[in-house]
Amino acid sequence: MPTCCSPFERATEQQFNSKRAGEELARYRDKGPGPTTRSLLEGIRQWVPPGNGLLLDVGSGIGSLAFELLKNGGVSRAVGVDASPAYIDAAVEEAQRRGCANLVQFVRGDFVAVSGQLPRATIVSLDRVVCCYPSFERLLGAALGHAERCVALSYPREAWYVRATLMLENAGRAVHRNPFRTFVHSAAHMRELIAHAGFHLVSRRETWVWCSDVYLRRNA
């Protein structure tokens, strides 16, 4: 396993530690995937036929989105990438428990840094990941470059109460010397980048806080 070296990886490792990974894994086993993951799954299943495709899950966490698509035949293989070693360990544990370790690979690292080593995929997903990057353009650009058919992402809505909440959360982290930060990025800018890469929106689901979008490549 590579040594964590970048500021982003160090901050992610501190924020998404083994305690948090264990809690999230237990919650997933008890209640299934979280709300934004469910929204993305609904959009993907509606617009991408099941088949022998590959999922590339950026910021895969405990691997819930990958496990759900593998379980229901949405894809036949998956690669998950996450900068948190604790979440990678939890995902590997769950893959072994489910008996699908031969179908899914989990890679530790900042996706932007390791993307050149990863394959192109039928579906690229970014569930609650864009908000973790201060400068999201490189992340989204790398993800779009790997997507053959579909890009699915969830991100915070540009609402005043969402901005206020994240500001308070970041202030609390600063008090506790936690370098991890979350951001509300321009949805219009994200849509522009995605459209420029040749994708069009086919599904959008919103809650008070989150927006979950699914895009398909034009003429795919």
The tally of CA atoms less than 13 A away on the side-chain side of residue 75 is: 25
The residue with tokens 């509606």 is 46
Query: What is the C-alpha to C-alpha distance for residues 122 and 70, in angstroms, rounded to an integer?
Result: 13
When pLDDT is averaged across residues 3-23 and rounded to a whole number, the result is 85
Residues 147 and 142: their CA atoms lie apart, in Å, by 9
Q: Nearest to residue 33, comparing CAs of 55, 63, 53, 57?
A: 63
* 7-217 placed in CATH 3.40.50.720: no
pTM score of the predicted model:
0.94
DSSP for residue 157: -
pLDDT value at 3 more than 70: no
Determine the 3-state secondary structure of 65 from DSSP.
Answer: helix
> Would you call 99 exposed, middle or buried from its count of C-beta atoms within 10 A (0-12, 13-18, 19+)?
exposed
**pLDDT tens across 102-154, in order?**
999 999 999 999 999 999 999 999 999 999 998 899 999 999 999 999 999 99
Structure confidence by residue, pLDDT tens digits, 150-177: 999 999 999 999 999 999 999 999 999 9
Residue type, 131: C
Give the pLDDT band (50/70/90) at residue 85.
very high
Angle at 149 between CA 147 and CA 151, to 5 degrees: 60
- The CA–CA distances, whole Å, from 107 to 3, 86, 116 equal 13, 12, 13
Q: Over the stretch 179-211, which tens digit does the pLDDT of each residue have? A: 999 999 999 999 999 999 999 999 999 999 999
> 202 or 8: which carries more pLDDT confidence?
202
Residue 1 has pLDDT above 60, yes or no: no
pLDDT value at residue 135: 84
User: Domain spans of the chain?
Assistant: 7-217
Cross-strand pairs, 218: none
**Rg (Cα) of the chain, in Å, rounded?**
16
Record the tokens describing residue 146, joined without a space: 């790997």
Residues in CB range of 18: below 8 A, 6 or more apart? 86, 89
Q: Tell me the β-bridge partners of 201.
A: 215
For residue 2, the model assigns a pLDDT of: 44
